[in-house]
Structure 1
């Protein structure tokens, strides 16, 4: 299986779209600013091009992991050492039978949901405990990543 970098980039860019909506003042932006201690004054002078660029870069790294979690066929590829050309004939037979199984947007969304609930949320909640952040902050941040992972998983699983 080849890595489709354009699909991963699209999935990474989708986190910006989710963020523009999620952190809009009419959605969770105002609450998040209050709970995180962010102010309009702190936001002034920030290099937003750098921040958005690095956000997409980090989301791209996450997309690479989401790809491995949502596309089951990557497990088969890893079983043959990552090089299908060196695999036994049974690998080709397996991929012929199951190479496109569970490759839907819906299936990717499911894996994104699981990743958000069982990976992102515990990490964010743990950090929030030590940073003395509120549960509102924790739920807003974990919710953002869960929704982002769901969209990323859907994009990756359906298009890659």
Structure 2
């Protein structure tokens, strides 16, 4: 049984850019983020956007590849047999027959994605921002983006079988 669904991972990765397009739009949090990040139109004009979006998609792909280990509980059972179901005892196959679809919903994936945002992304971003002397507004805007994004990514990965 393969829990790394490439289609789900790709869609989840692209969803990060879609959420970012909405989240950082000037009519949502874009202007507030620019102020909090001390970003100017001048700085933005000199950017290589193909490089930025390409790397952003690559990083989102890395995150989406890591999320099944957090979102899909059955990966824990697979890890218990060393990641190779072919060499597992018959009890593994019986367990997977009984529980292979358990907790494989958008809602459950969303839940674990949000927890990942709160307990992993927020502390990392918050710590960096504190040392960079950024405001609470900066932390909340960026962490909020990652909490929503990881929630959506988790939901996609959790539901897509």
How far residue 95 of structure 1 moved from its aligned partner, in angstroms, is 0.1
Task: Tell me whether 1:66 sits opposite 2:67 in the alignment.
Answer: yes
Partner of 1:118: 119
CA offset digits 1:47-68 (Å, max 9, x no partner) = 1111111111101111112111
Larger mean Cα displacement after TM superposition, 43-52 or 125-134: 43-52
Task: Tell me whether 1:9 sits opposite 2:10 in the alignment.
Answer: yes
Q: RMSD over aligned Cα, in angstroms?
A: 0.8
Partner of 2:57: 56
Q: How many residues align?
A: 160
- TM superposition outliers: structure 1 runs of 4+ over 4 Å: none
How far residue 127 of structure 1 moved from its aligned partner, in angstroms, is 0.5
Task: Tell me whether 1:26 sits opposite 2:27 in the alignment.
Answer: yes
Partner of 1:104: 105
Give distance in 2, aligned partners of 1:113 and 1:42: 32
Task: Tell me whether 1:135 sits opposite 2:136 in the alignment.
Answer: yes
Structure 1 gap ranges (5+): none
In the superposition, the TM-score normalised over structure 1's length comes to 0.98
Partner of 1:39: 40
Partner of 1:95: 96
In the superposition, the TM-score normalised over structure 2's length comes to 0.97
Give distance in 2, aligned partners of 1:54 and 1:10: 16
